[in-house]
Amino acid sequence: MDIATIAGLLTGVILILLAIVSGSPITTFIHIPSMMITIGGATAAAFISYPLKTMLGVVAIIKKTVLCKTPSPIDLIGKVVKYAEKARKEGMLALEDESETEEDEFLRLGLRLAVDGTDPQLLQKIMDNDIMALQRRHEVGIGVMQSLGTFAPAFGMIGTLVGLVQMLSNMSSPEGIGAGMAVALLTTFYGAFMANVFFLPLAGKLKHRSQEELMLRDLIVEGITSIQTGDSPRVVEEKLKSFLAPRERELIGKKDAA
């Protein structure tokens, strides 16, 4: 998990904890039934929205997408250009070894297809299908987090309504009103807390990681098809560098010189 995610989560939780303990005993904010209706309800709604298998798979997608580092596009371009040079000099078949040892799963697929002499249009089609399927899987993961982020405040409000109706229909003593309102508001607090500290920011991270990974795959498809059509390594590099920000492009230059 990258440091920003951990730091962000800890900071968010600690700031709210500080605000709580500075003004009241922490026990005021712990109410198990309220937690159950908010978190349990949101999870139940998500389980209705998505099939069981998907819900179980989502944890894996989230873990993988958040924990795994997306490889640096600069390194990736370096690798692809190296392959282009080898293919130029020794022919496509010279990449057979690399098509088995290459670490990046998607680049390996591309190399294998190219080495097998797959028709360029077919290769493009297979790799595009692959990208679209990945995008679909990512969107499911993002969708689950977003629907948790929508349902959590909704069930928070449902809990508060239940609490308000109970309090209002039973106003024997005016002293109890304050305490009843406090408990009723706790579910709204839990819902807003879960949604804004966990679900929505994590949905944002997933979305961002997904875009990064899809961009890298577009870059790989561009590189493989460029190698396959016999572009010179310099043209391959030029094409791929256009995916980078100007500042990053200079880093490639420096690396080359070094």
168 binds its own copies (CB under 8 A): yes
65 binds its own copies (CB under 8 A): no
CB of 128 to its own copies, least distance (A): 8
Q: Within 10 A of 2 (CB to CB), how many other CB atoms are there? A: 12
Residues 6+ apart with CB under 8 A from 224: 80, 107, 110, 111, 113, 114, 123, 127
Q: Where are the alpha helices (DSSP H) in 169-199?
A: 175-193
For tokens 């408990």, what's the residue? Answer: 183
Site for its own copies in 234-253 (CB under 8 A): 235, 238-239, 242-246
11 vs 97, which CB is nearer to its own copies?
A: 11
Contact 197, 13 (CB under 8 A): yes
93 vs 168, which CB is nearer to its own copies?
A: 168
246 vs 258, which CB is nearer to its own copies?
A: 246
Site for its own copies in 115-144 (CB under 8 A): 118, 122, 125-127, 129-130, 133-134, 136-137, 140, 143
Query: At residue 137, what is the residue type?
Result: R
Q: What is the CA radius of gyration of the chain?
A: 26
232 binds its own copies (CB under 8 A): no
Query: At residue 242, what is the residue type?
Result: S
Residues 6+ apart with CB under 8 A from 40: none
Site for its own copies in 169-208 (CB under 8 A): 169-171, 178-179, 181-182, 185-186, 188-189, 192-193, 195-197, 200-202, 204-205, 208
90 vs 125, which CB is nearer to its own copies?
A: 125
89 vs 175, which CB is nearer to its own copies?
A: 175
Q: What is the number of alpha carbons within 13 Å of residue 41 lying toward its C-beta?
A: 21
83 binds its own copies (CB under 8 A): no
Longest Cα separation, the chain: 90
166 binds its own copies (CB under 8 A): yes
